[in-house]
Chain A
Amino acid sequence: MTTTSPVSALRETRDHVVIRFAGDSGDGMQLTGSQFTVETALAGNDLATFPDYPAEIRAPAGTTFGVSAFQIHFGATDIRTAGDEVDVLVAMNPAALSVNLRDLRLGGTIVADTGSFTERNLSKAGYSANPLDDGSLTPYQVIKLDVSRLTLDAVEPFGLGQKEALRCRNMWALGLMLWMYDRDRQATVNWLNQKFAKRPELGRANVAALNAGHAFGETAEMAAIVGYRVAPAVAEPGEYRTVSGTEALAWGLLAGVRAAGIKKLVFASYPITPASSLLHALAGLKAHGVVTFQAEDEIAAIGAAIGASYAGALGVTSSSGPGMALKTEALGLAIATELPLVVVNSQRAGPSTGMPTKTEQSDLYQAVLGRNADAPLVVLAAATPGDCFPVAIEAVRLATKYMTPVILLTDGYLANAAEPWRIPDVDRLPAFLVRFRTDPEGFHPFVRDPRTLARAWAVPGTPGLEHRIGGIERDHDSGHISYDPENHERMTRVRAAKIAGIANDIPLQEVAEGPSRGKLAVVGWGSTYGPILQAVRQAREEGLGVSHVHLRYLSPFPRNLGALLQGFEKVLVPEMNNGQLVNLLRAAYLIPAQGLNKIQGKPFKVREIRAAIDSVLDEGR
Chain B
Amino acid sequence: MTVVTRPTEPLAPRDYASDQEVRWCPGCGDYAILKAVLKTLADLQVPRERTVFVSGIGCSSRFPYYVSTYGFHTIHGRAPTMATGIKLANPDLDVWVITGDGDGLSIGGNHLLHVLRRNVNLQIILFNNEIYGLTKGQYSPTSRQGTRSPSTPAGSVDYPVSPGAFALGAGARFIARSIDTLQPHLVGVLKRAHAHRGASFVEVFQNCVVFNDEVFADFTEKAVAPEAQLQVEHGKPLLFGRARDKGLRLNTTTLLLEVVTLGEHGVTEKDVVVHDERNKGLAGMLLALQPPTFPMALGVIYCDPAPTYEEAVYSQVPAGANAAQADIEKLLHQGQTWTVAG
Contacts and interface: CB of A to CB of B under 8 A. Distances in A.
Contacts of B339: 238-240
Contacts of B50: 460-461
A573 interface: no
A435 interface: no
B318 A468 contact: no
Interface string A236-263: 1111111000000001001101101111
B333 A304 contact: no
B83 interface: yes
A329 interface: yes
Interface stretch (A83-91, A438-446, A449-457, A592-600): A438-446
Given A237-B340, A241-B336, A330 B78 contact: yes
B74 A333 contact: yes
Contacts of B313: 291, 293
A441 B3 contact: yes
Interface stretch (A165-173, A197-205, A308-316): A308-316
A32 B184 CA distance: 70
Contacts of B321: 286-290
A311 B86 contact: yes
A266 interface: yes
B93 interface: yes
Given A308-B89, A423-B332, A424-B332, A440 B4 contact: yes
A357 B81 CA distance: 29
A466 B68 CA distance: 7
B69 A466 contact: yes
Contact of B85 (A262, A288, A308, A472): A308
B337 A241 contact: yes
Given A258-B323, A286-B316, A466-B49, A460 B74 contact: no
A307 interface: yes
Interface string A25-59: 00000000000001001101000000000000000
Contacts of B6: 463-464
A312 B3 CA distance: 24
A329 to B, nearest CB: 6
A258 B325 contact: yes
Contact of B1 (A285, A442, A480): A442
B328 A251 contact: yes
Contact of B73 (A255, A260, A296, A470): A470
Interface residues of A, number: 82
A240 B340 contact: yes
A307 B72 CA distance: 9
B20 interface: yes
A315 to B, nearest CB: 6
Interface string A275-303: 00000000001111111010111011111
Interface in B103-124: 110-111, 113-114
Contacts of B337: 239-241, 423
Interface string B69-110: 111111100101111111111101100000000000000001
A307 B49 contact: no
Given A255-B328, A289-B321, A423-B332, A313 B90 contact: yes
A38 B336 contact: yes
B235 interface: no
Nearest to A286: B317
Contact of A289 (B67, B69, B84, B323): B323
A10 interface: no
A307 B332 contact: no
Interface string B323-342: 11111110111011111111
A167 B329 CA distance: 37
B332 A441 contact: no
Nearest to B64: A468
Interface in B48-70: 48-50, 52-54, 64-65, 67-70
Contacts of A288: 321, 323, 326-327, 331
A288 B329 CA distance: 12
Given A241-B335, A288-B323, A460-B49, A304 B84 contact: yes
A118 interface: no
Given A237-B340, A237-B342, A469-B72, A264 B332 contact: no
Interface in A519-560: none
Contacts of B326: 254-255, 257-258, 285, 288-289
B18 interface: yes
B253 interface: no
Contacts of B72: 307, 310, 337, 468-470
Contacts of B83: 307
A240 to B, nearest CB: 5
Contacts of A462: 49
A379 interface: no
A306 interface: yes
Given A286-B318, A290-B323, A463-B6, A441 B85 contact: no
Contacts of A423: 332-333, 337
Contact of A307 (B54, B92, B323): B54
A456 to B, nearest CB: 13
B64 A261 contact: no
A462 B64 CA distance: 17
Contacts of A237: 340-342
B322 interface: yes
A278 B93 CA distance: 28
B1 A443 contact: yes
A467 interface: yes
Given A462-B49, A467-B70, A470-B73, A289 B110 contact: no
Nearest to B57: A471
Contacts of A241: 332-333, 335-338
A235 interface: yes
Contacts of B48: 466
Nearest to B323: A289
A257 B70 contact: no
Nearest to B61: A470
Contacts of A238: 339-340
Given A261-B324, A308-B89, A481-B65, A471 B74 contact: yes
Contact of A299 (B1, B20, B78, B325): B78
Nearest to A336: B75
A187 interface: yes
Given A239-B333, A306-B85, A254 B69 contact: no
A268 interface: yes
Contacts of B70: 460, 466-468
Given A254-B328, A262-B323, A307 B75 contact: no
Given A265-B323, A307-B87, A467-B70, 13 more contacts: A241-B333, A255-B326, A257-B324, A258-B324, A286-B321, A293-B313, A303-B84, A303-B85, A304-B85, A307-B85, A310-B82, A313-B88, A440-B4
Interface of B: 1, 3-4, 6, 18, 20, 48-50, 52-54, 64-65, 67-75, 78, 80-90, 92-93, 110-111, 113-114, 313, 316-318, 321-329, 331-333, 335-342
Please list the 6 inter-chain residue pairs (A to B) with the smallest Cβ-Cβ separation, ordered nearest first. A307-B85, A470-B73, A303-B81, A289-B323, A304-B85, A468-B71
Interface of A: 38, 41-42, 44, 187, 235-242, 251, 254-255, 257-258, 260-266, 268, 285-291, 293, 295-297, 299-315, 329-330, 333, 337, 423-424, 426, 429, 440-444, 460-472, 480-481
25 contacts: A41-B336, A237-B342, A254-B331, A258-B326, A260-B324, A266-B88, A288-B331, A293-B84, A293-B85, A295-B81, A299-B78, A300-B78, A303-B80, A304-B81, A304-B84, A304-B88, A307-B87, A308-B88, A423-B333, A441-B1, A464-B4, A466-B49, A468-B71, A470-B72, A470-B73
